[in-house]
Homo-oligomer: A and B are copies of this chain.
Amino acid sequence: MQATRLSLFAPATIANLSCGFDVLGLALEGVGDCMHLELTERPGVEIRKVSGMDLPLEADKNVAGVAALALLAKSDYKGGVAIEIDKRIKPGSGIGSSAASSAGAVWGLNQLLGSPFSPEQLVGFAMKGEELASGAAHADNVAPALLGGITLVRSTDPLDLARVHCPKALHACVLHPQIELKTSDARKILKTTIPLKLGIRQWGNVGGLITGLFTEDFGLISRSLEDGIIEPVRSLLIPGFQALREKALEAGALGFGISGSGPSVFALTHGPEKAHKVARALDEVYAGFGIPFEIHVSGISRQGVRALDSTPIIT
């Protein structure tokens, strides 16, 4: 007998990872949303409740709804699904709030339907939610949310994903300054052309980061966490960015950069102790800024979206 209800955890994600703009991302272990899904006889998607944030309940205006509708459109299932979202990741934070909702919705629905779709197909459905949220169907948050670990989006058209090896010791620290910064606005300020020289440096760094991850060479990982293209522009929108970077590196971070399109910033570290040390350093910098903020320290989630322990009710 198939469960008809499911509770799940949908992780926050860090996209770009400095050099890997639009292609790299990772899933956090301890930061994310909870969602509850239930199959319904009535066709379509019902967003039954969103707690924690003020988000639309109309399925076609809610990222989880749009993603679930994209899945249903490709499925031969005749019923529908009801979704409750317990939102812990603030929209516009830059750690994949919309991606968590989209990924959670399609992962949970796929589970309830007996897993007819592959993780890659789920990424495709979840990208429809991203398109609603930011105007661009990017995959660099939904891919790690669904596949777990560190993911590469080699191409979005056609969609081509790969998992990159993630050393166990890798940890992340995220600071979320609670200012508003929309992904769509953060994309608008980017130049549409770049010097070839900076491009070469960027793909050298992407190559270095991925090689460093596979060989667990933390020195190479650290040297490769560099972004000479996007960060110099976007960091201007983030109060205290340079001071935060300086203190994070002083505290032992492997690298420091903008999480997704910001305003959150992230540091990667070798081990949890370093991540906590970096967190304290970032906290000190921001304490005097008068901007509300949150800091998260987390390992990397191997799994991505996962069912919560509570046993689903079996009918």
User: A residues within 8 Å of B by Cβ?
Assistant: 19-24, 152-155, 160, 162-165, 190-197, 199-208, 210-212, 214-215, 217, 220, 223-224, 229
Contact between A220 and B162 (Cβ–Cβ < 8 Å)?
Answer: yes
A234 to chain B, nearest CB (A): 13
Copies in the complex: 2
A130 to chain B, nearest CB (A): 16
Contact between B22 and A207 (Cβ–Cβ < 8 Å)?
Answer: no
Interfacial chain B residues near A155, Cβ < 8 Å: 201, 204-205, 208, 223
Contact between B214 and A165 (Cβ–Cβ < 8 Å)?
Answer: yes
Name the one of B23, B164, B190 contacting A196, with C-beta atoms under 8 angstroms: B190
Closest-by-CB residue of B relative to A21 is: B200
Contact between B196 and A194 (Cβ–Cβ < 8 Å)?
Answer: yes
Contact between B154 and A23 (Cβ–Cβ < 8 Å)?
Answer: no
Contact between A202 and B201 (Cβ–Cβ < 8 Å)?
Answer: no
Contact between A160 and B23 (Cβ–Cβ < 8 Å)?
Answer: no
A221 to chain B, nearest CB (A): 11
Name the one of B22, B224, B229 contacting A154, with C-beta atoms under 8 angstroms: B224
Given A154-B224, A155-B204, A163-B211: 12 more A-B contacts, CB < 8 Å? A20-B207, A22-B200, A23-B200, A152-B211, A154-B204, A154-B205, A155-B223, A160-B208, A160-B223, A202-B203, A210-B211, A214-B214
Q: A202-B199, A214-B214, A229-B199 are in contact. Are A162 and B208 (CB under 8 A)?
A: yes
Contact between A153 and B193 (Cβ–Cβ < 8 Å)?
Answer: no
A96 to chain B, nearest CB (A): 18
A222→B162 CA distance, assembly (Å): 13
Q: A196-B191, A229-B199 are in contact. Are A204 and B164 (CB under 8 A)?
A: no
A192→B190 CA distance, assembly (Å): 18
Contact between B192 and A192 (Cβ–Cβ < 8 Å)?
Answer: no
A268→B301 CA distance, assembly (Å): 35
